[in-house]
Amino acid sequence: AALTELAEKSDLLTYEFENVDQDVLARVQKRTGVLVPQGVKLLTVTSNRINEKNFLRTHGLPTTDFAKVASPAELKVAVKELGFPAILKTVSGGYDGHGQWDINSEQDVKNMLEKWPKNLLAILEKRVDFVKEISVMVSRDNCDQVKLWPITENRHKNH
């Protein structure tokens, strides 16, 4: 309801964050006719960590090793395949450390299995040592003019 109200008062809607409900956005766009210049399809890739990693690999970009994890049994298999250290993340909805669990030992696996969240769909990612994480923001207007914004460094504590 709030998104519909916003759309009715706006010439266009944009998003800069992948945790936007694409189904709701598509319905609101159809109902109100509001312009969504980024489209909704982009969210199919960016809102799902498995889709995102597969998309990157398909386009020749490297990613850390990963495995889909939809059950405690699949976590055990994924850990055997990827090893330690790793991070278990929700496939969607998590951000800035929310929906993430360090998996650095058999004890971490045991602890996770004991408190397995109901209906968790996750991805286990092999931990990567890195110097820094950066973000690059790119925008395009309705005249296909592309603007690259300054590169920024992301700094995280505890994920």
In angstroms, rounded to a whole number, what is the distance separating the alpha carbons of residues 61 and 152?
20
Q: Is residue 36 part of a domain?
A: yes
Alpha helices in 9-153 (DSSP H): 22-32, 41-46, 49-58, 72-82, 106-114
Region of poorest pLDDT, from 5-9, 93-97, 112-116, 120-124: 93-97
Q: Is residue 55 part of a domain?
A: no
Per DSSP, the three-state class of 26 is: helix
Q: Is residue 131 part of a domain?
A: no
Which range marks the domain in which residue 89 is found? 64-126
Half-sphere exposure (Cβ direction) of 56: Cα atoms closer than 13 Å: 12
Determine the average pLDDT of the residues in 59-87: 97
Same domain for 1 and 42? yes
Cβ atoms < 10 Å from Cβ of 66: 21
Same domain for 73 and 122? yes
Position 42 scores a pLDDT of: 86
Helix axes 72-82, 106-114, angle to 10 degrees: 170
How do residues 128-147 score in pLDDT, each as one tens digit?
998 998 999 888 777 889 99
- The domain spanning residue 96 has which CATH number? 3.30.1490.20
Same domain for 68 and 37? no
Position 10 scores a pLDDT of: 95
Distance of CA 116 to the CA centre of its chain: 20
Long-range contact set of residues 136-144: C-beta below 8 Å, sequence gap at least 24: 137/16, 140/37, 141/37, 142/37
Cis bond before residue 85 (omega within 30° of 0): yes
